[in-house]
Structures are given as C-alpha cells and as structure tokens.
Amino acid sequence: MGEHPLTVDVREGGQVLHLLLDAPKANVLDGRMLAGISAALDRHGESARLKAIVFEGAGVHFSFGASVPEHTRERAGAMLAQLHGLMRRLLALGVPTAAVVRGQCLGGGLELAGFCSWVFASPTAAFGQPEIRLAVYPPFASVLLPWRLGGGRALDLCVSGRSIDAQTALAWGLAHAVVDDPSAACARFLAEEILPKSASSLRRAERAARGELARLVEHALPGLERDYLEDLMETHDANEGIAAFIERRPARWEADRVAEAGEHTEREQTR
C-alpha cells in the first residue's frame, strides 16, 4: 500500500485514466480517498481525449466500502454528500468506466464497481452490500442495482446483506468477465473495443444508455437521502449497529431490548 490513498496514472496518450485505490485496510472509500478521486476527475475528466476511466484496488481486495466511522449520525450527511457527489459527477461526465476487482468488493465499493460500464473480476472476487448488518441501507445501491441487475437481485443483495461470488456476478450481469488476470483483460478490452472509437461519441452513447439511471438519480435518490438522514439515522438500531461494529461487540436491537424487558417484567410478576 502506498503513502497516498490513490495513485493516478494517465495511460494510452491520455485516453485512459487509471485510478488505483491504494489505502490500508482494504482501500476504504473514506473522505480522503473520495477527495482524491474527485481531484483526479477535476484534473483529467474533461480532457477531450479521455475515453475510459479504470478503477482498480491495490492489494488483496478491491474495497471494503465507505468508512464505518463516517456513517455515524454526526458524519453521515457529509459521507453521503461526498460519495453520491462522486457518482453524480461520473454520471455527468459520461466517460465509459471499468472496474478491476479482486477479493472483496463491498458496500460503497460495490456501488462504485457496479456503477462502472464493465467489471473485470478475478475468480476470488466477492460482491456484497452488507450495510443491513449494521441496521442501515445503501441509498445509491437502492437505485443503481435495480437498474443494473433487476429488482429481485437488487433486493436480495440489499436486504440479505449476503455476498455473491464472481461466477454468480457474471451470471447476473454484474461482471463482464471472470479471468485470472483481470487487469490484463481490462486493458485488452479497452484497446480492442473502446480506444479505436470517437471519444465524444463514446460519451454521448454512455449518457444515452444511462438515461434511466440518470432519471433515478435525479428523482429517486434525493428522497432516499432524506429518509436515510432524517429518519433512519434517528433510530436506535441504526446508531446501535454502527456503534457495535466500531466497538466490536454484538448489537442489541430495540425490539430485542423491549422483548427482554417484557420477559423480565413477566418473571417478576410471577414471583
């Protein structure tokens, strides 16, 4: 892992922007990482020659997702604004995107990879939205995944919190290819299928193909953001789930506490 959380590399004569997520603890998409990605897009995203943006994770895993400490009630608003701001920026740019995924691709990591036009996965890759285990849910994935995978599969991932392996991701249409060397496969695909094409027309085609997603982000996502910040984050369970994860202890959900209190009262009354 490098000193900086992001390594920026402009390749193929300015046609490919390669962003290597390179931070300790599995490339967590914390504020510093997201700021680095945004800065790279500020510098290179509007280049007339740019035809593809590639996201890759350094080390064993692609990303464990957004920082859990940044999910607390006091910080959740800034976290969502930064993460969703990045997704909106990528959507507006219209540059084709690719993700090279090895190991775990979770939470915000799956939102980032799942947003990409193509996902090249290693056989070890695993994809999941585990937020529900902390008693929260992923607003962006809630609009992205139904568009990308269909409602049933999106519901499965967001409500169960389980992960799927690379072959399942391929069968579901989340992964474009599962190969031993996803970096090489991605580079070869871009060289053969994308770089020979017009940069401006690629952007137009990308925006056209994502029109429905753009409408969902414009009209549905703001309501989910409000629900998350104004309703969900005011509940006991959401705050308890995040605190329990940070403190490395089992969570005590509100309904369980009420049930335990009722059982205690009933025992006292029968004495």
How do residues 235-249 score in pLDDT, each as one tens digit? 999 999 999 999 999
Distance set, CA 21 to CA 91, 169, 255 (Å): 20, 21, 39
Domain 6-227 matching CATH 3.30.1600.10: the answer reads no
CA angle 179, 158, 126 (to 5 degrees): 20
A 10 A CB-CB count for 144 gives 22
Span 129-139, average pLDDT: 98
CA angle 114, 51, 45 (to 5 degrees): 80
* Average pLDDT, rounded, for the chain: 95
| Residue 169 to residue 121: CA distance in whole angstroms | 9
Q: Is the model more confident about 263 or about 106?
A: 106
Closest Cα to residue 110, out of 65, 69, 154?
Answer: 65
Q: Is the model more confident about 96 or about 267?
A: 96
pLDDT at 142 over 70: yes
pLDDT at 45 over 90: yes
Enumerate residues 6+ apart whose C-beta is below 8 A from 74. Answer: none
pLDDT at 271 over 70: no
**Confidence category of residue 257, pLDDT binned at 50, 70, 90:** confident
pLDDT the model gives residue 144: 99
**Confidence category of residue 3, pLDDT binned at 50, 70, 90:** low
A 10 A CB-CB count for 245 gives 16
**Confidence category of residue 41, pLDDT binned at 50, 70, 90:** very high
| Residue 227 to residue 105: CA distance in whole angstroms | 25
**Confidence category of residue 268, pLDDT binned at 50, 70, 90:** low
Distance set, CA 239 to CA 79, 119, 143, 234, 254 (Å): 15, 33, 23, 8, 11
pLDDT at 185 over 60: yes
Q: Is the model more confident about 256 or about 35?
A: 35
Joined together, the tokens standing for residue 79 give 């976290």
**Confidence category of residue 259, pLDDT binned at 50, 70, 90:** low
| Residue 261 to residue 227: CA distance in whole angstroms | 29
**Amino acid identity of 141?**
A
Handedness of CA 212, 67, 107, 9 (dihedral sign): positive
pLDDT digits (tens, 9 = 90+) for 197-224: 999 999 999 999 999 999 999 999 999 9
β-pair type (118-121, 177-178): parallel
Closest Cα to residue 53, out of 102, 92, 2?
Answer: 92
| Residue 175 to residue 114: CA distance in whole angstroms | 9
Domain ranges of the chain: 6-227, 235-269
Computed over its alpha carbons, how large is the radius of gyration of the chain? Answer: 20
pLDDT the model gives residue 23: 93
> 136: helix, coil or strand?
coil
